[in-house]
Amino acid sequence: MNQERLEKILIKLKERELKQMIISDPYAILYLTGRYIDPGERLLALYINESGGNKMFINNLFTVPEDLGVEKVRFDDTDDYLSLLCSCIQKGEPLGIDKNFPARFLLPVIAASGASDFVLSSVCVDEVRACKDEEEKEKMRAVSAINDKAMAKFRDLIREGVTEKEIASKMLDIYTSLGAEGYSFTPLIGFGPNCAKGHHEPDDTVLKEGDTVLFDVGCRKDNYCSDMTRTFFYKSVPSEKHREIYNLVRKANEAAEAILKPGVRLCDVDRAARQVIEEAGYGPNFTHRLGHFIGLEVHEFGDVSCVNEAVAEVGNIFSIEPGIYVDGELGVRIEDLVLITEDGCEILNSFCKDLDIVE
């Protein structure tokens, strides 16, 4: 159990007048214990309490290291594990509940635990997770460096007659050869008009001259996720409009990155990028938020959008990914991960953003 992280969570709980919580999100449990368990339909719960008595409830089906740094309560499917869980809950006190805790566990806990109230409190964990500590920063730098190297190799796959699927089929081996453990998400690959589709899956589309080639890709190493997008042109830039769109997206990406520092509102970061695109008349073509937080999961709590008035804090890591999409023609997106530092930001991706015509 990472005591430093636990302490920070307990402080957040106290701010909300909570002394105890059930954490069930497997990634939150990984964050605290260093151990990822996918419990499937089974109960996995970490009970924490400001006065100690922390316990982790794990089915005997799952193997865990002897020394998790927290008392383990092991059980079989046939045991009354919800009674075991209820018996450690402090009665007469409100209980924090994880946002995804399912009804089949929550309703019995409400009926039998004796807690005075049940309060959604995942945000106490999520806010702590949003500010990466030094160990996490190092891992995010390392996995992003792999993503930069992989992007260079993906660029080499752009050649006459290739299909999206063929490129897709080679990416995993490239990642693993560079030391990654796998994808952080299924790669998004688009040629030409396919780049303008929100959730296009790689298909048998054959590359042709003048196409934009969009790679939105990421890998996982040491439990942390990278995520980057670059957009190339194949052989030529078909029109001034194509060139203008590319340069606008790049300018929007850099305008947002330029104002990053602790205290800046995330909605203002979104605005900085969106304004560049709106002023050129492409506002309706930038159809999504500017970015999302990332770490143990590709999408974590926190986003960079027009409605998020929260401010950037030291240790935040999120994506900056403006895009312009023209149906039936092209799509351009340029995405980096950024880390908020004491006096600005560190851009975790260094792969070139110049307009790049691949021959």
Query: Does 165 interact with a second copy (rule: CB under 8 A)?
Result: no
Distance CA 227, CA 178 (A): 15
Q: In the bound complex, what is the minimum distance in angstroms from residue 189's beta carbon to a second copy?
A: 18
Query: Does 106 interact with a second copy (rule: CB under 8 A)?
Result: yes
Q: Which residues contact 42 (CB under 8 A, 6 or more apart)?
A: 59, 61, 77
Shorter beta-carbon distance to a second copy: residue 206 or 306: 306
- 3-state SS, 315-333, equals CCEEEECCEEEECCCEEEE
Q: Is the CB of residue 228 less than 8 Å from the CB of residue 349?
A: yes
Query: Got the DSSP string for 127-150?
Result: HHHTS--HHHHHHHHHHHHHHHHH
Query: Does 97 interact with a second copy (rule: CB under 8 A)?
Result: yes
Query: Does 63 interact with a second copy (rule: CB under 8 A)?
Result: no
| Member of 52, 78, 204, 343 binding a second copy (CB under 8 A) | 78
| Member of 14, 72, 99, 165 binding a second copy (CB under 8 A) | 99
Q: In the bound complex, what is the minimum distance in angstroms from residue 192's beta carbon to a second copy?
A: 23
What H or E segment, with its residue span, contains residue 244?
helix 240-258
Shorter beta-carbon distance to a second copy: residue 70 or 298: 298
Shorter beta-carbon distance to a second copy: residue 103 or 134: 103
Distance CA 215, CA 174 (A): 14
Distance CA 304, CA 294 (A): 12
Query: Does 104 interact with a second copy (rule: CB under 8 A)?
Result: yes
Query: Does 182 interact with a second copy (rule: CB under 8 A)?
Result: no
| Count of other CB atoms within 10 angstroms of residue 146 | 19
| Member of 101, 232, 246, 293 binding a second copy (CB under 8 A) | 101
| Closest-CA residue to 250 (of 324, 358, 359) | 324
Shorter beta-carbon distance to a second copy: residue 105 or 246: 105
Q: In the bound complex, what is the minimum distance in angstroms from residue 322's beta carbon to a second copy?
A: 20
Q: In the bound complex, what is the minimum distance in angstroms from residue 248's beta carbon to a second copy?
A: 26
Query: Does 164 interact with a second copy (rule: CB under 8 A)?
Result: no
Tokens of 145: 């460096």
**Residue 206 DSSP class:** B
Classify 212 as helix, strand or coil: strand
Q: Is the CB of residue 43 less than 8 Å from the CB of residue 105?
A: yes
Shorter beta-carbon distance to a second copy: residue 73 or 123: 123
Shorter beta-carbon distance to a second copy: residue 53 or 102: 102
By CB under 8 A, which span of 8-16, 105-113, 272-280, 343-351 interacts with a second copy? 105-113
Query: Does 107 interact with a second copy (rule: CB under 8 A)?
Result: yes
Q: Which residues contact 60 (CB under 8 A, 6 or more apart)?
A: 74, 75, 76
Q: Residue 202 carries which side chain, given as an amino acid letter? A: P
By CB under 8 A, which span of 80-88, 119-127, 260-268, 323-331 interacts with a second copy? 119-127
Q: Which residues bind a second copy (CB under 8 A)?
A: 78, 97-104, 106-107, 110, 118-120, 122, 307
